[in-house]
Amino acid sequence: MMFAHGFGCDQHMWTAVARAFEADFRVVLFDHVGAGQSDLGAYDAAKYASLDGYADDVVEIGRALDLSDAVFVGHSVSAMIGGLASVKAPGMFSDLIMVGPSPRYVDDDDYVGGFSHAQVEELLEFLADNHLGWSAAMAPVIMGNPDQPELGAALEQSFCATDPEIARQFARATFFSDNRADLPKITARTLVLQCREDIIAPPCVGEYVHAQVPGSRYTLLDATGHCPNLSAPEQVTAAIRAFV
Amino acid sequence: MSSPVADDDLADLVENLPCGYLSLSPDGRVLRINATLAGWLASDATALVGQSIHALLSFGGRIAYETHLAPMLRLQGKVDEIALDLLRSDGGKLPVIANATEKRANDGTHVLTRVTLFKAVERRAFERTLVDARTKAEAAASAEHDDAVLREQFIAVLGHDLRNPLAALDAGVRMIGDRETLSDRGRFLITEMAKSVGRAAQLIDNVLDFARGRLGNGISLTRNAQEPLGPVIEQVVNEIRVASPERRIITSLAIEENVDCDRARIAQLASNLIANAVTHGAPEIAIEVSARTEGGNFILCVSNGGAPIPPAARAQLFQPFFRGAVRRSQQGLGLGLFIVNEIAKAHGGTMEVISSDAITQFVFSMPLTDSRDRSQ
Q: Which domain holds residue B15?
A: 4-119
Residue A133 has its nearest CB partner, among B74, B76, B83, at B83
SS3 B146: helix
Give yes or no for residue B2 having a pLDDT over 80: no
**pLDDT tens digits, A188-238:** 999 999 999 888 899 999 999 999 999 999 999 998 888 899 888 999 999
**Average of per-residue pLDDT across A28-40:** 88
CB atoms within 10 A of CB A86: 28
pLDDT of residue B252: 94
- Is there a single domain that holds both residue B237 and residue B338? yes
Tell me the three-class secondary structure of chain A, residue by residue. Answer: CEEECCCCCCHHHHHHHHHCCCCCCCCEEECCCCECCCCHHHCCCCHHHCHHHHHHHHHHHHHHCCCCCEEEEEECHHHHHHHHHHHHCCCCEEEEEEECCCCECECECCECCCECHHHHHHHHHHHHHCHHHHHHHHCCCCCCCCCCHHHHHHHCCCCCCECHHHHHHHHHHHHCCECHHHHHHCCCEEEEEEEEECCCCCHHHHHHHHHHCCCCEEEEEEEECCCHHHHCHHHHHHHHHHHC
Going by pLDDT thresholds of 50, 70 and 90, the confidence category of residue B233 is: very high
For residue B294, is it within any domain? yes
Nearest chain B residue to A158, by CA: B76
Question: With 50 as the cut, is the pLDDT of residue A144 above it?
Answer: no
Do residues B277 and B201 both lie within one domain?
A: no
For residue B329, the 8-state DSSP code is: G
Say yes or no: B234 and B349 in one domain: yes
Q: What is the CATH number of the domain that holds B339?
A: 3.30.565.10
Task: Report how many Cβ contacts below 8 Å link chain A to chain B.
Answer: 107
Q: Residue B138 falls within a domain, yes or no? A: no
Annotation marks residue A131 as catalytic: no
Please count the other Cβ atoms lying within 10 Å of the Cβ belonging to residue A39: 10
Residues B85-102 as b or e (16 or more Cβ within 10 Å = b)? bbbeeeeebbbbbbebbb
Query: In this structure, are B157 and B105 located in the same domain?
Result: no
Task: Specify the 3-state DSSP secondary structure of B89.
Answer: coil
**CB–CB of A94/A71 below 8 Å?**
yes
pLDDT band per the 50, 70, 90 thresholds, residue B7: low
Band of residue B277 on the pLDDT scale cut at 50, 70, 90: very high
DSSP state of B283: T
Per-residue confidence (pLDDT) for residue B240, from 0 to 100 = 84
Kindly tell me the burial class for residue B343, based on how many C-beta atoms sit within 10 Å of its own C-beta (0-12, 13-18, 19 or more): buried
DSSP state of B42: T
Contact B80/A137, CB-based, under 8 Å? yes
The CATH number assigned to the domain holding B21 equals: 3.30.450.20
Cβ-based contacts of A133 with chain B (< 8 Å): 81-83, 97, 120, 124, 127
Report the gap between the CA of B141 and the closest CA in chain A (Å).
19
What is the rounded average pLDDT of the residues A83-97? 96
CATH classification at residue B147: 1.10.287
Number of domains in chain B: 3
Q: Kindly tell me if the per-residue pLDDT of B86 is higher than 70.
A: yes
Comparing B324 with B179, the larger pLDDT belongs to B179
Chain B partners of A119 at a C-beta cutoff of 8 Å? 59
Q: Are residues B203 and B240 in the same domain?
A: no
**pLDDT score recorded for residue A208:** 96
Q: Is residue B272 in some structural domain?
A: yes
- CB contact under 8 Å between A133 and B82, yes or no, is yes
Q: Do B60 and A126 touch (CB under 8 A)?
A: yes
Answer whether residue B136 is part of any domain: no
| Structural domain contains residue B134 | no
DSSP-derived pairing of the beta strands A28-30 and A2-4: parallel
Interface predicted TM-score (ipTM): 0.81
pLDDT digit string, tens, across residues B312-363? 788 788 877 776 655 444 455 677 888 888 889 889 999 999 999 889 999 9
**Annotated catalytic residue, options A52, A198, A210, A216:** A198
Examine the pLDDT at B62 and tell me if it is beyond 70. yes
Domain finish residue from B119, B134, B166: B119
**Nearest chain A Cα distance for residue B67, angstroms:** 5
Q: Is the pLDDT of residue B29 over 60?
A: yes
* Domain contains B223: no
Distance (Å, rounded) from C-alpha B175 to C-alpha B158? 26
- B135 inside 8 A of chain A by CB: no
Does the distance separating the beta carbons of A162 and B74 come in below 8 Å?
A: no
Asked whether the beta carbons of B217 and B182 are under 8 A apart, the reply is no
Among candidate residues B93, B92, B113, the one with its CA nearest the CA of residue B102: B113
More reliable by pLDDT, A155 or B344:
B344
Partner-chain contact A127 B64, CB within 8 Å: yes
Helices (H), chain B: 4-16, 35-40, 45-48, 59-64, 70-76, 121-179, 184-214, 230-243, 263-280, 311-314, 336-346, 371-375
Closest chain B residue by Cα to residue A159: B72
On whether the CB atoms of residues B334 and B323 are closer than 8 A, the answer is: yes
pLDDT at res. A94: 96
User: Pick from B119, B135, B155: which residue ends a domain?
Assistant: B119
Q: Identify the pLDDT of residue A143.
A: 36
Say which CATH number the domain at A51 has.
3.40.50.1820
- Given A76, A102, A158, A216, which residue is catalytic? A76
Q: What is d(CA A171, CA A165) in angstroms, rounded to the nearest whole number?
A: 10
Residue B76 CA to residue B16 CA, distance in Å, equals 29
CB contact under 8 A, A136 and B81: yes
Separation CA B262–CA B259 (nearest Å): 9
Report the alpha-carbon distance of residue B347 to residue B370 in Å, rounded: 7
Domain count, chain A: 1
Indicate if B236 and B344 belong to the same structural domain.
yes
Q: What percent of chain A has pLDDT over 70?
A: 86
Q: Answer yes or no: are the C-beta atoms of A86 and A59 closer than 8 Å.
A: no
Q: What is the mean predicted confidence (pLDDT) over B126-152?
A: 83
Q: Domain range spanning residue A172?
A: 2-243
* Per-residue model confidence (pLDDT) at position B374: 44
Q: For residue A145, what pLDDT band results from cuts at 50, 70 and 90?
A: very low
pLDDT averaged over every residue in chain B: 85
DSSP-derived letter for residue B308 is P
Contacts A137 to B, Cβ<8 Å? 72, 79-82
